Structures are given as C-alpha cells and as structure tokens.
Structure 1
Amino acid sequence: MNIFEALRKDHEKQRLLLKILAETSGDTAARREYYQELKLQLEGHALAEERHFYAHLLEKDATVDLTRHGIAEHHEIDELLAKLDDTEMSSPAWLRHLKNLQDKVEHHLADEEHEFFQVAGRVLNDKQKATLADDYVNEMEQEMSTATATA
C-alpha cells in the first residue's frame, strides 16, 4: 500500500459517515454514535496526515503551498466540528452546520485527490510512499485505539 491508497481509504470512510449523518434527524443514539465516529476519523486523520504526509511535503518547493492550504483546511474543519459540538443535536442548526462540514470536507478531499496527490506523487519515490503509508496507518490505528479506550 502507498500513502495515497491509505489516505483514500480513510477519505471513503469520512464520505460515508458524512452521508449517513446527513440523513439522520433529531438527537438520537445513532446520530450521536455516527458523529463521534466521524469526529474521531477526522481528527485522527488530520493529525496522522499532517505528521506522516504533510510534514514531508513542506520541505519540497513543489508542494509547500498545497501543503499549507491543506493544513489551513484542517483548521477550518476543526472549527466546524467545534460549532457542531456547541449546537444541540436536536436543533435544525445542527444539520446546517453538518452540511457545511460535509461541503468543506468533500472540497478538501477533492483538492487532495485531484491535485495534491498528483504533485506529491512526483516528488516522493516509491519507497517513501510505502514508508509514509505504514507510518500513517500505524498512527491512525493508535489514534483510534486510544480514542476507543478513553470513550
């Protein structure tokens, strides 16, 4: 597996969770469960991606601007998650905030998959791509198990 395949796999999980959540209503156990899973996925993904993908690309002239843009979008996603946390799930505003989050995440994933990955693919060699994937996957597994243990 290379880093791009590992990231795309998690991107698909995020898209699915967002789609499922957008179809929920009210303050239900299902909405709470799916939201917690989405939040863990997004936060863990951002952390692991910044440590094991973006950090290496900040050093390359061809990818520094795209990397900074990606990090900025991670911060915007964090702000939208905080807004959701501060809004009652039974409120119609919660679903509006979720739709904003869904739009932001889907935009971010499309940016990465359709532009950033192509440029990064040219500056990383095959060994780096495989090593970064291993490091990223290990970090994600650690983040998910830590979050599950503290829940």
Structure 2
Amino acid sequence: MNIFEALRESHDRQRGYADALIKTHGDSKERVEAYEKLKAELHAHETAEERFFYIPLMQEENGVDPSRHAISEHHEMDEMMEELDETDMASPAWLVTAKKLAEKVHHHLKEEEHKFFQIAGKLLDDKQKESLAGKYQKEYKTQLEEEQG
C-alpha cells in the first residue's frame, strides 16, 4: 500500500461520516454518534497526515505551499469542530456549522486527491510512498484509539 491509498481509506470514511452528520436531526443519538465518529476520524487523520505526508512534502520546494494550504484547512475544520462543541446540538446554528464543516471536508478531500496527490506523486519516490503509508497508518491507529478513549 502507498500513502495515497492509505489516505483515501480515511477520506472515504470522512465523506460518509460528514454526509451522515448533516442528515441528522436535533440532539438525537444519531447526531451524537455521527459527530463523534467524524470528529475522531478527522483528528486522527489530520495528525497522522500532517506528520507523515505534509511534513515530508515540505522538505521539497514545490511541496511547501500546498502543504501549508492543506494544514490551514485542517485548522479551519478544527475551529468549526470547536464551535460545534460549544453549541447546543438541538440549535439550528449547530446544523448550519455542521453543514459548513461537511462542505469544508468535501472541498479539502477533493483538493487533496485531485491536486496535492499529483504534486506529491512527483516529489516522492515509490519507496517513500510505501514507507510513509506504514508510518501514517501506525500513527493514525494510535491517534484514533486516543480519540475514542
């Protein structure tokens, strides 16, 4: 497995959780579960991805700006989740922010897969792609276990 395949596995889960989240109502059990899954997935993925995809890409001149952009989008999503944590789930404002988060998740993943992966594909050799996948998966698993308590 290479780093792109490893990242896509989490991307697919993120899309599913984001889509499920915005279909929920009020402070229902479904909303709580969907949000907890999305939040844990995003945090675990972001941390592992930054350490074992974006930081290595920043070592290359052509990888600096795309990596900074992606990391800033991770920060934006984190801020939206903080806002959701501070808002009553039954509030209409909660769903508005959740929809913004879902849109940002979809935008970010599309941009990564259609733009950043192509840049990284040229900057990393096959050995690096495989090595980073293993490191990413190990870190992702550790982070997800911490998120899920």
TM-score (norm 2): 0.97
RMSD between aligned residues: 0.8
Q: Deviations over 1:104-135 (max 9, x none)?
A: 11111111100000010001010100010000
In structure 1, the partner of 2:48 is: 48
- Deviation at 1:33? 1.2
Q: Deviations over 1:57-89 (max 9, x none)?
A: 111011110000001111101111111111110
Question: Matched residue of 1:62: which SS?
Answer: helix
In structure 1, the partner of 2:18 is: 18
- Deviation at 1:145? 1.8
Ranges in structure 1 where 5+ consecutive residues have no aligned partner: none
Ranges in structure 2 where 5+ consecutive residues have no aligned partner: none
In structure 2, the partner of 1:137 is: 137
In structure 2, the partner of 1:3 is: 3
1:56-75 to 2 correspondence within 5 Å? 56-75=56-75
Q: Deviations over 1:28-57 (max 9, x none)?
A: 112111111110100111100000111101
Question: Matched residue of 1:88: which SS?
Answer: coil
Question: Matched residue of 1:73: which SS?
Answer: helix
Moved over 2 A (4+): none
- Deviation at 1:23? 0.6
In structure 1, the partner of 2:146 is: 146
TM-score (norm 1): 0.96
Once residues 102 and 147 of structure 2 are traced to their aligned partners in structure 1, the CA distance between those partners, rounded to angstroms, is 22
In structure 1, the partner of 2:122 is: 122
Question: Matched residue of 1:20: which SS?
Answer: helix
**Number of aligned residues:** 149
